[in-house]
Structure 1
């Protein structure tokens, strides 16, 4: 490749004239890429500025700037009356044909090193372009007052830094102070800010808890039907998961006792306010029994109150953590779930000695936090804005819950059994006769309704679905239920014909 004009520069240099990146920078980066990959090996003579500008259809001054950039970065050197040459270690010379058949911008498809792989953390969530999508109980972001939140955020940004307050690696002191007071009043948790750890999400909270409190070989009890993401986090830690049956009063306490009498249990994971996925509430009697069992057998109760704020018919039952006097309960939850996604946060409540270790771990994985957003949330608590918004939103979600119950009864009463949940944003529907739920999901998708597989529960004993309603308006949920009903009938009734 002695002649620089033989090198097919047009094959590996492409120019995007609509890009915000200067053209000379685009060309420079691609030439550097070619040098690094050996397509322009050591000693290669580059074309003159006029020649290369003609080849790439750019102004000569652009190529002059390109060469200046390469020279400044140390990739080329120029000699008077000789030309411009590539600097670098000797490499195998690439052929013209190999350059033509290779795009420099392609990133390697495979790594050149080995690494551990696992199917435990495979993403169970699916996405679709359908107009109607069931989920497992997510709020409607269209109800959020983004302008108002943005106004508070903007006003905080304009303040002097010293007025925002001190920030530790485990969260804004201002936010923790107000959140601890909020949890005291709303959930009966007699805590101070020293019992709080602020995280980005419930899943981050779960990850930190599992890293600090669980070890390989430990045994963790979960509901026979339980939250799949949490189970994945537990499994990654290397624990053994044992399931306990669920009935209309929540987790079966007698089964828990029998297991504890036979083996050492490290942790019991619960969603007592509305069990995921069945939505049943753990009875008051069983709550007290579980607290006594945890003290008797020494296992941790990990209480996940993922939707405590969503209750409609009566005051919610207080968390187990509010009655814990022996330090056996670790409580996790989310704040601002009714708000826009960027305005939400997670938290962990635990005794101070546990907090000490958790702060160390959080300081490694999320040291900088988000002091501005936490300050916004703190002000929303201090000014009572969060309570006003919660009251307004709950009225809408209650209306949607009642409408969804009516639609399920009207269109699917002969096929499913369900109970109207006292809170939360989802229904648990069990089929009276088995139906292939994956087949049903595929049929619905062809009719513009998407039901992801993580909502489907089917085995030899059970055929059920968890159907979220919070993200639908009444007209949208009517259309969604109509599509579901139509496809159910085509499968069950059509088969008879």
Structure 2
């Protein structure tokens, strides 16, 4: 191969003095990159260490260390009295590089060299904005979580010798200790009658719905949802090939008569409901309709997928027990989230179902989340066993109760002439409907200009409805006051 200086090494070996990576490693890595991309082909003789050190204005020992690293990795070989050569076919032709050319060795390809399937169904509707105040769909306030205490629990479990064996064991079926405690917790708080064999631990509600859909839904199956429903779940159903059919919602929840009418005309595979507080309207499914739905499910053979996404947050009275607590025919699959009052990293999802379905669900979980998080589940199990989770809930509920009352008072005082709402008995959001048609998307733009961000996922607008779901749980009293004032100002 010709003279090594014909390759402009200084054009693609760029040294970053601020990097934590040693300079000789930077040189070695960039030379490897040049070899892989054909700028320095196999058979090329590299410049001598003194020559390259002068070109790059570096100490010769740095170049020697870089060449030794290349040799250790198997990219070059040193030939006595001849020099250092790139290993490979000496007949390969190098790519020509002009001395002034910028060689893009550090750039990653902007697109693939192959085709793949794309899905508009999964286009994310989530938005972000740099505003001081933000409405969401009803999430807890992370500032209320005792992060220091949670961290100490996690650290204690990490150091405990009895847990060391568990850390090295991948168990996609989850911690038996956590499942035992969680099943007891659900039996006490939800009126269920389950064992750990009826539980699957997941990362989130969305993962629970995804696994359930993969097993229970086929292309063309009809899934009934509320006329207003949770968009992420709808996306998962549609991705599985199912057809979504909306059912009216009123002040008592989903319209059971409409469900019966649909069932008499066609085969329904599944009904998805959020009965404790319907998403997004927050209405509670009445006791009579709960029993009616269970009877319809047994009569027509459709699955009830019950999502109790915010069961833990209730203020005025005891929560209504889930449909799963009265299911005698094995028609209900119950999903939920545990630890929503804790910091996000300490939350988990779960699925409750008969054991024969659990067997299949564990197979799917073993593929998408084989390792799980045994240590975190150990911590959560201890919080249940020691009553810590109840103390967390009791303390946070007082705060959220006060925030709900303050928020609904603000709505009535400043926007009562413009919108209608019912104070929710639980949850962390209020459903509002505008009395006169309002362009909600334009209103959201005006609010953003005034430091209040309202994501489009909270806006529900068509000819018959202008509605917004406004979360209050994440706001202090002062933040809620400022946010409502901005909303009132922009409306005017």
Q: CA deviation at 1:164?
A: 7.5
- Is structure 2 residue 127 aligned with structure 1 residue 120? no
- Is structure 2 residue 457 aligned with structure 1 residue 473? no
* CA RMSD, Structure 1 to Structure 2 (Å): 1.5
Partner of 2:428: 425
The secondary structure found in structure 1 opposite 2:120 is coil
Partner of 1:308: 311
Partner of 1:259: 262
159 and 54 in structure 1: CA distance in 2 versus 1, 3 angstrom threshold: same
Partner of 2:151: 150
Partner of 1:80: 80
Q: Which deviations, in whole Å up to 9, do the C-alpha atoms of 1:446-472 show, x marking residues without a partner?
A: 111111111111111111111111111
Question: How many angstroms apart in 1 are the aligned matches of 2:175 and 2:38?
Answer: 50
Question: How many angstroms apart in 2 are the aligned matches of 1:188 and 1:98?
Answer: 76
- Is structure 2 residue 328 aligned with structure 1 residue 325? yes
Contact 1:269-1:302 within 8 A present in 2 as well: yes
Question: How many angstroms apart in 2 are the aligned matches of 1:54 and 1:249?
Answer: 81
From 444, 448, 461, the equivalent of 2:447 is 444
Partner of 2:179: 176
Q: CA deviation at 1:60?
A: 1.3
Question: How many angstroms apart in 2 are the aligned matches of 1:131 and 1:389?
Answer: 28
Partner of 1:66: 66
- Is structure 2 residue 133 aligned with structure 1 residue 132? yes
Partner of 1:56: 56
The secondary structure found in structure 2 opposite 1:30 is helix
The secondary structure found in structure 2 opposite 1:96 is coil
The secondary structure found in structure 2 opposite 1:97 is coil
Question: How many angstroms apart in 2 are the aligned matches of 1:9 and 1:37?
Answer: 14
Deviates more, 1:302-311 or 1:128-137: 128-137
Question: How many angstroms apart in 1 are the aligned matches of 2:92 and 2:237?
Answer: 49
182 and 97 in structure 1: CA distance in 2 versus 1, 3 angstrom threshold: same
Question: How many angstroms apart in 2 are the aligned matches of 1:475 and 1:290?
Answer: 42
Contact 2:170-2:370 within 8 A present in 1 as well: no
Q: CA deviation at 1:197?
A: 0.3
Partner of 1:2: 2
Deviates more, 1:148-157 or 1:327-336: 148-157
Q: Which deviations, in whole Å up to 9, do the C-alpha atoms of 1:140-190 show, x marking residues without a partner?
A: 000000111111111111112458768742110000000000000011011
Contact 1:271-1:303 within 8 A present in 2 as well: yes
Deviates more, 1:364-373 or 1:74-83: 74-83
Q: CA deviation at 1:91?
A: 4.3
Aligned pairs (5 A) from 1:242-257 = 242-257=245-260
User: Which ranges of structure 1 fall in alignment gaps of 5 or more residues?
Assistant: 490-497
Contact 2:415-2:488 within 8 A present in 1 as well: yes
From 284, 287, 308, the equivalent of 1:284 is 287
Partner of 2:382: 379
From 404, 408, 411, the equivalent of 2:407 is 404
Contact 1:167-1:173 within 8 A present in 2 as well: no
Q: Which deviations, in whole Å up to 9, do the C-alpha atoms of 1:386-405 show, x marking residues without a partner?
A: 00110000000010111111
Question: How many angstroms apart in 2 are the aligned matches of 1:168 and 1:82?
Answer: 56
Contact 2:253-2:285 within 8 A present in 1 as well: yes
Partner of 1:494: none
Partner of 1:19: 19
User: Which ranges of structure 2 fall in alignment gaps of 5 or more residues?
Assistant: none
Deviates more, 1:2-11 or 1:189-198: 2-11
The secondary structure found in structure 2 opposite 1:333 is strand
33 and 269 in structure 1: CA distance in 2 versus 1, 3 angstrom threshold: same
34 and 413 in structure 1: CA distance in 2 versus 1, 3 angstrom threshold: same
Number of residue pairs aligned between Structure 1 and Structure 2: 489
Question: How many angstroms apart in 1 are the aligned matches of 2:163 and 2:384?
Answer: 21
Q: CA deviation at 1:5?
A: 2.5
How does the TM-score come out when normalised to structure 2?
0.97
Contact 2:12-2:102 within 8 A present in 1 as well: no
Deviates more, 1:337-346 or 1:96-105: 96-105
Q: CA deviation at 1:6?
A: 3.6
Question: How many angstroms apart in 2 are the aligned matches of 1:71 and 1:249?
Answer: 74
How does the TM-score come out when normalised to structure 1?
0.96
Question: How many angstroms apart in 2 are the aligned matches of 1:422 and 1:11?
Answer: 67
Question: How many angstroms apart in 1 are the aligned matches of 2:170 and 2:25?
Answer: 40
